[in-house]
Structure 1
Amino acid sequence: MRSARREKEEKRAESPSSSMAVVADWSQLPKDLLNLISERIDNKFDFIRFRSVCSSWRSFSIPNHHHISLPFKFPNLKYKRNIFLIKAPQQQDETLIRPWLIRVTQNSSGKIKLYESPLISFELPSTFSFSIDLYKSSVHNLGTDFIFDEPYIQPEKVLAVTPLTLAILLDNGHLVLSRCGDDCWTGIPDVSSFIGDIGDICIFKERIYAVEEKSSKTVTIGPEDLSVKLVAKDVHGGRPDIQFMVESEGELLLVDVFESFTDLGFQLQVDVDVFRIDEKEKEWVKLKSLGDRVLFWGNGCSFSASASDLSVAKGNCVIFMENVFFKKNKICDSSMCVFDLDQGRLLPLRDYPDYLNLFWPPPPSIVKSMHKTKKSMLSCIKRFLM
């Protein structure tokens, strides 16, 4: 004879309500919770998507709430620049829909400009207009940097350590901090005890990393207490002409670029080495391959993405902006170049259609409407390729 408890459990299992998932009514979220969510949205694209969820979210989230973001509490900040990867939802027939890489610049008044490439600094002509269906597309922020407006000093790189602290690499190779509310910049004197002129800075695990120009010796700086710690020794045999750091899949990578020239100053060869940091051993470990990863380095920014996210056939490449290499470069005469680590050579972006299509033209699946004269279209593409 079955027990009463067993019969009760069987009846509960047979009940229709027990097999049905509870559907949450997101429109009824408390206003204080909605406020906490909206305060953590750091770009206007995501804010638009947030307001598109339902009418109650839209009526609660006033646009002026995000009119001026925290970084613009700094009086000398001129622009905030974001790199976005816009992806349309994949179709059920599994036809590959390519994404679009764009750079969006926002000034202190909230005005936004779109540039045709995240790596170069001229904007699209005024004859170009379009709309993006942000409700159907996903928007991924790959990187952010800032432009400082200083009449006498032009910073090489400006990064946000926290919403109220900026790290500024000056053109003389020195690093300073700018804190919201301070009247002047804060120097970090202990850095000079470890390294000389700084070649690049990066924010990794909420700390500032600074690499010494040429030697690649690297330190980390605490943004609050300004403590300095050596995290990587010199890279033996290396005096790179160009170097930059980038976070990629939870690792901090260093890219060293070497150029060789003829006696007349014409470029013969470009070589690229990529390292990952091993803080336990205090060294940069050379990588044989990036695998699926693609690294980008451009005008004040560096970022990383996987080949699968970019919908390209292969990774293991580094994409460079215009004016990176010597003007007498006879290897790559294009403004944008790709170094393929599999082949060990530098080639124009136009030789890699998969990568070129990330920038231009915009995918029809993402851009809802576009109006542009044929003449300006051709001019735009010519500038982009050459």
Structure 2
Amino acid sequence: MADWSTLPEELLFLIAIRLFSVVELKRFRSICTSWRSSVLGNNDLFPNRPLIFLNQLRGIFPTQWCPVNSPFNAFLSRAAFFCVTLSSSSSQGWLIKSDVDINSGKFRLIDPLSGLAMRHLCERLDLLEFTISEIREAYQVLDWDTRRKTSDRFKRVILVKDKRGDQRVLGICSNGNIKYWKRSQWKVKQFAYRFSDVIVHKGLTYALDSTGTVLWVSSKLKIYRYGPPLGDNITNGCSGERSFVECGGELYIVDRLFGEIFRKRKGNANFVSVETVGFKIYKFEEELGKMIEVESLGENAFVIATDTCFSVLACEYYGCLQNSIYFKDAEEDQMKVFKLENGSITTMSQPSQSCFQMFVPSFL
């Protein structure tokens, strides 16, 4: 039989970071001396997410480190969504999002939908009480000097494999262009399309243009049309915003419909704002290359965040409504939920509202 104590330390580390609770980590470290020394026994249950500097994707540097006069000014900041449950009762849990504060290098909680830092009253947690599992990861491009978003603003950023199998950063700009990082600068890929989203699904990269057409993006960044457009869904003269969502191994397109455009005043400036009035959902039939409108999500709910979109099984989260979409409107802090069964929208007025409990952990 194999001697488990002689397993490579690198392998033991890869096993340890996939454990879901501090209890499992302590059990792991109690096996033998080599297992205990392979991973620290601290209570940092959330995995550390080092920054990825674009000029050196193969090298990953700790969050607290950056060389003086570094050429690696552009980097990817990573955030993750977690399902948090009580170890004593893991039937339901909460949805939280975390990233690393760029200035302090410390873990922090952020709003799951807007990405803004959250304030919480609890300073210390006994992590032995919780089981935490990661369900989604998201990226944004920042500048090391300013700690802010770069001048190239991106609606969506993903990591893909190029033709040599290396990782490549691919982003959808605010103007709808596709950009990719190559040789210390962003390159624009010229297409006739204006893109609204991009996703890696079953190992393939798909892009979604502003009309709802699904396109396949090859490793050489060539575009092949896959599905027909959804058509112009227009409400009160304002077109929608379209996004990809994976659910149950299938690919869906969410068409977000806006109402009238109206102007708001913020400080000394006026800005244009739109309000979401509804959603339409389509399932992408890959083999047929067709879009089929979906009337129900069954037991699932969709979460529409600023940097990614994904699905959850409603029964696994406190108060989560099945057959619904959770979202926020731009420039607004109010969380909302759209119910597909009747087309109604409920706005969060109090944190105690049952349908929003999944976003308000009781331990904070």
Change (3 A) 1:40 1:80: farther
Q: Aligned pair in 2 of structure 1 residues 128, 137: CA closer, same or farther (>3 Å)?
A: closer
Cα displacement string for residues 216-259 of structure 1 (whole angstroms, at most 9, x for unaligned residues):
0111213x332422221111343542221111111111110112
- Say whether 1:113 aligns with 2:121: no
Is structure 2 residue 52 aligned with structure 1 residue 71?
yes
Q: 1:63 to 1:78 in 2, by over 3 A?
A: farther
Q: Which amino acid aligns with 1:355?
A: C
Larger RCO (alpha carbons 8 Å, 6+ apart): 1
Distance of aligned partners of 1:48 and 1:339 in 2 relative to their CA distance in 1, 3 Å threshold: same
Structure 1 residue 183 corresponds to structure 2 residue 179? no
5+ unaligned residues in a row in structure 2: which ranges? 58-71, 144-149, 264-271
Q: Aligned partners of 1:78, 1:263: CA distance in 2, in Å?
A: 34
Give the conservation status (yes or no) of the 8 Å contact 1:175–1:187: yes
Cα distance in 1 for residues equivalent to 2:120 and 2:262: 45
Match of 1:81 among 72, 79, 91: 79
- The Cα shift of 1:186 comes to 4.2
Matched residues in 1 for 2:40 and 2:130: separation? 22
Q: C-alpha displacement at 1:69, in angstroms?
A: 4.2
1:229 to 217, 224, 235: 224
Mapped contact 1:68–1:108 kept (Cα < 8 A): no
1:280 aligned counterpart, secondary structure: coil
Q: Verify the 8 A CA contact 1:294 1:306 in the aligned structure 2.
A: yes
Alpha-carbon shift at residue 128 of structure 1 (Å): 4.0
Q: Cα distance 1:50–1:121, how it changes in 2: closer, same or farther (>3 A)?
A: same
1:263–1:296: structure 2 CA closer, same or farther, 3 Å change rule? closer
**Alignment equivalent of 1:302, drawn from 309, 314, 326:** 309
Offset, 1:105 = 0.6
2:145 is the alignment partner of 1:147 = no
The reply to whether residue 357 of structure 1 matches residue 349 of structure 2 is no
Give the structure with the larger strand fraction. 2
Structure 1 segments unaligned to the other structure (5+ residues): 1-23, 328-333, 371-386
Alignment of 1:271-290 (within 5 A): 271-290=278-297
Aligned mates of 1:170, 1:266 — CA distance in 2: 20
Shift of 1:112: 3.6
Deviations 1:193-219 (A, max 9, x none): 5xx111112221122221111x10111
Q: What residue in structure 2 maps to residue 379 of structure 1?
A: none
**Structure holding more helix per residue:** 1
Does the C-alpha gap of structure 1 residues 37 and 28 become closer, same or farther in structure 2, counting only changes over 3 Å? Answer: closer
Report the CA distance shift for 1:30/1:69 in structure 2 as closer, same or farther (over 3 A).
Answer: farther
Q: Residues 111 and 119 from structure 1, CA distance in 2 versus in 1: closer, same or farther, beyond 3 angstroms? A: same
Return the offset for 1:70.
7.4
1:270 correspondence with 2:264: no
Contact 1:68 1:109 survives alignment (8 Å): no
Superimposed CA distance per residue, residues 312-354 of structure 1 (whole angstroms, 9 cap, x where no aligned partner): 4640000002427xx7xxxxxx611100001211111348933
Aligned mates of 1:263, 1:61 — CA distance in 2? 55
The separation in 1 between residues aligned to 2:96 and 2:208, in whole angstroms, is 28
* Percent of aligned pairs with the same amino acid: 15
Provide the alpha-carbon RMSD of the alignment: 3.7
Indicate if the aligned counterparts of 1:230 and 1:282 stay in contact, CA closer than 8 A. Answer: no
Residue 58 of structure 1 is matched in structure 2 by 36
TM score, norm. by length of structure 2? 0.73
Pick the structure with greater CA Rg. Answer: 1
Asked if the contact 2:324–2:340 (Cα under 8 Å) also holds between the matched residues in 1, the reply is yes
Tell me by how many angstroms 1:306 deviates: 0.5
Aligned residues: 316
* Residue of structure 2 aligned with 1:216, choices 212, 215, 239: 212
**2:85–2:130: 8 Å Cα contact kept in structure 1?**
yes
SS of corresponding position for 1:129: coil
- TM-score of the aligned structures, taking structure 1 as reference length: 0.70
Which amino acid is the alignment partner of residue 205 of structure 2?
I
Answer yes or no: is the 8 Å Cα contact 1:319–1:338 preserved in 2. yes
Q: Please state whether the residue corresponding to 1:156 is helix, strand or coil.
A: strand
